[in-house]
Amino acid sequence: MILVLLGPPGAGKGTQAERLQETFDLAHVASGDLFRENLREKTDLGKLAQKYMDRGELVPDDVTIGMVRSRLGQPDAAEGVILDGFPRTIAQARGLNEMLDAMDRELSAVLHIAVPDEELIRRLSGRWICEQCQTPYHVLSNPPREAGICDVCGGRLYQREDDKPETIRARLKVYHEQTSPLIEFYRKADLLREVDGSGGIDDVWEALKKIVADLD
Ligand SMILES: [Zn+2]
């Protein structure tokens, strides 16, 4: 079984990927981890990627595709894989199709956790930090006893630039621009399975679990 997991920042993709990995005995292949591994172990592809990064350039799709190909050849990926953070572009999606063809395997489904932007902004912009002792808070999941004031030291809470609604809105815009062509690509291929991600972690999990169980 080969799955692709798509979802915006704040959709809880990491948690769902972990549960899929455990429940269905899949290897979790996260593109960020793959990059870090290749860079750390100084593989040929890692060294190539490093060259582009040193020049401040984007790593070309064929380098990324090569890392995924080599990862899919490892023993723990034989039973099944969940791809997370790859593909990001249509070129990568085509590359994935070609590599799976060559391995005589095929993509089982593309799982898309869809969450309205306003809900994502609510989740992601809730982080506040104490300017004195750096204790983190979240207005939804871990609020301070008194708004704007640190429970630990009484210091003032502030929001990092990354956690401000306008920054998050800009990040989501980039995400949608990047992802909507992919979603169309997989919808046309009849591989897209959409899950409503506006509910809690367990609701999303139940929906995903049912879809994947039905693929078997
Ligand atoms: Zn404090």
CA–CA dist 39, 64 (Å, integer): 12
* CA–centroid distance, residue 122 to ligand 1 (Å): 23
The structure tokens listed for 37 are 């591994």
The model carries a pTM of 0.87
β-bridge mates for residue 136, sequence order: 129
Share of the chain above pLDDT 90, in %: 94
* CA–centroid distance, residue 179 to ligand 1 (Å): 39
Which residue bears the tokens 């139940």?
Answer: 206
**Residues lying with their CB under 5 A of ligand 1, a single-atom ion:** 130, 132-133, 135, 150, 152-153, 155
pLDDT by residue (tens digit) across 61-84?
999 999 999 999 999 999 899 999
pLDDT by residue (tens digit) across 156-205?
999 999 999 999 999 999 999 999 999 999 999 999 999 999 988 999 99
Which residue bears the tokens 């999941």?
Answer: 141
Mean pLDDT of 33-48: 95
CA–CA dist 2, 152 (Å, integer): 47
The confidence band for 119, taking pLDDT boundaries of 50, 70 and 90, is very high
Nearest to 123 by CA among 3, 11, 6: 11
Buried b / exposed e over 143-170, threshold 16 CB at 10 Å, is ebeeeeebeeeebebeeeeebeeeebee
Q: In what order do the strands lie in the sheet with 109-114?
A: 27-30, 81-84, 2-6, 109-114, 192-196
- Please list the active-site residues: 13, 88, 127, 160, 171
